Amino acid sequence: MDLKYFKLESSGNNFILLDFITIGINQFDKISNFIFKEKAIKSSDGLLLITNSQSCDFDLNFYNPDSSPSFCGNGSVCAAKYMTRINLKKEYNFLSNGLYCKAQVNKNNIDLKIGKTNNYREFINGFLINTGTLHYVEFSKSLHDNFFNKRVIELTSSQEFLKAPFNINIVKKEKDHIQIRTFEKGVNRETLSCGSGSIASILAVFLAFEKKYSLVKARGGNLNVDFHFNNKFFEKIRLISKPTIINSGYLSIDV
């Protein structure tokens, strides 16, 4: 069978999206093993699966290329961008891997709002923080390849990572923005951007330096993050991006 897909990207993160709103989730369960063998999925940063929802505008399930499920910030803004193609609204309410999200549409911008969090832990040179998925944010004065690759090897070999895998964000603080490089679990390599990692990095910098930044510069593009800090809770968290639909094609599923 030929299964139509759409390819989308947000600040360099690229995804394959399948629209199962009219097909049904049970059908995906039957063919998922075939889907994750497809080259288009393996070479992407993840799979977005949109389905009908009983309580929201739609439900989104995100899967890493290794088929592990996770929350994905950039994937969520891309899903909202896709929905403007089939049912244009100013706002979408949806569940993204069980996490309630609200996406507002402002011309080409998608403004994604997620729930509050106080799930963070401080380390010597960074923070382990959960922004829908777990991130370790480490501060550095260098983002050079040698340093980044060395730290990724060290961190992914650690007992902490082996016990509960996390994404890795190495952050360099500038005068008016932060720069990040990201290693993503489930993708098992560096990605050009990370939405939930950008949120985690902005929150971690605030905790460490008591300075609120908005602009995040990743290798694939820029993102903006906003939040309100209330005692120990981060709330009103927003991720702002300009996602695009790149193209479409077909997966040939041999079932």
Question: pLDDT tens digits, residue range 89-117?
Answer: 999 999 999 999 999 999 899 999 999 99
43 and 137 in a single domain? The answer is no
- Per the structure, the complete domain to which residue 222 belongs is given by 120-241
- 54 or 239, which is more confident? 239
Do the Cβ atoms of 243 and 78 come closer than 8 Å?
Answer: yes
Please return the burial class of 86, using the count of CB atoms within 10 Å of its CB with bins 0-12, 13-18 and 19+.
Answer: exposed
Give residues with Cβ within 8 angstroms of 78, minimum separation 6: 8, 9, 10, 13, 15, 17, 48, 243
* Same domain membership, residue 109 and residue 190: no
Q: Please give the pLDDT value at position 255.
A: 62
CA distance 12 to 74: 9
- State the Cα–Cα distance between residues 25 and 185, nearest whole angstrom: 25
Residues 98 and 139 both lie in one domain: no
The tally of domains found in the chain comes to 2
Q: Are residues 82 and 125 in the same domain?
A: no
Identify whether residues 226 and 246 lie together within a single domain. Answer: no
HSE (CB half, 13 Å, CA atoms) of 209? 18
Residue 110 and residue 125 in one domain: no
The pLDDT tens digits for 37-51 are: 889 999 999 999 999
CATH number at residue 107: 3.10.310.10
Q: Is residue 24 pLDDT above 70, yes or no? A: no
